[in-house]
Amino acid sequence: MSLRSPLARVLYHGAARDGVGHWWVQRVTAVALAPLALWLTVSLLVLPDGYAAVSAWIGAGVHPVLLSLTVLLAIWHSWLGLQVVIEDYVHGFLVKTGSLLLSSCVHGLLAASALYAVLRIALKAAA
């Protein structure tokens, strides 16, 4: 049984049923990124330069899966983090909403581009 009045219900007053979702996903992506970011950084630092070596490494074995996962999780983590930063420091409805939308667009574009790039290299290596 709901204790909320019908008026409160139609006005959407009350909890958004989201709770700690944002906070929790930020932590889950952080924990997942700890080993993955370490792996990617060390791999990129020791990777020999040159197109052949780089594309072979990206397409080899489980690398495309781990690489997509790392980049997508990093973009997700960055999206959530930047949202909090904008909400804390950018004031004024229009500028704040505009910044949040811009951040969402850029992060979405990055996720699609990175995934496309990794898949394209991996499928070329497999062909």
Partner 1 sequence: MAERPLSPHLQVYRFGYTMSLSILHRITGVALGCALIGLTGWLMAAAGGPSSYAQATRVLRAWPSRVLCALALIALCYHFCNGLRHLVWDMGYGFERREARRSAALMLVAALAAALACVVALLYGAARP
Q: Which residues bind partner 1 (CB under 8 A)?
A: 27, 30-31, 34, 37-38, 41, 44-49, 51, 54-55, 58, 71, 74-75, 78, 81-82, 85, 106, 110, 113-114, 116-118, 120-121
Residue 24 phi/psi, 5-degree rounding, is -65, -45
CB of 42 to partner 1, least distance (A): 8
Of 85 and 95, CB closest to partner 1: 85
CB of 13 to partner 1, least distance (A): 17
Q: Give the DSSP letter string of 29-73.
A: HHHHHHHHHHHHHHHHHHSPPSHHHHHHHHHSTTHHHHHHHHHHH
Tokens for 42, please give them. Answer: 């060390």
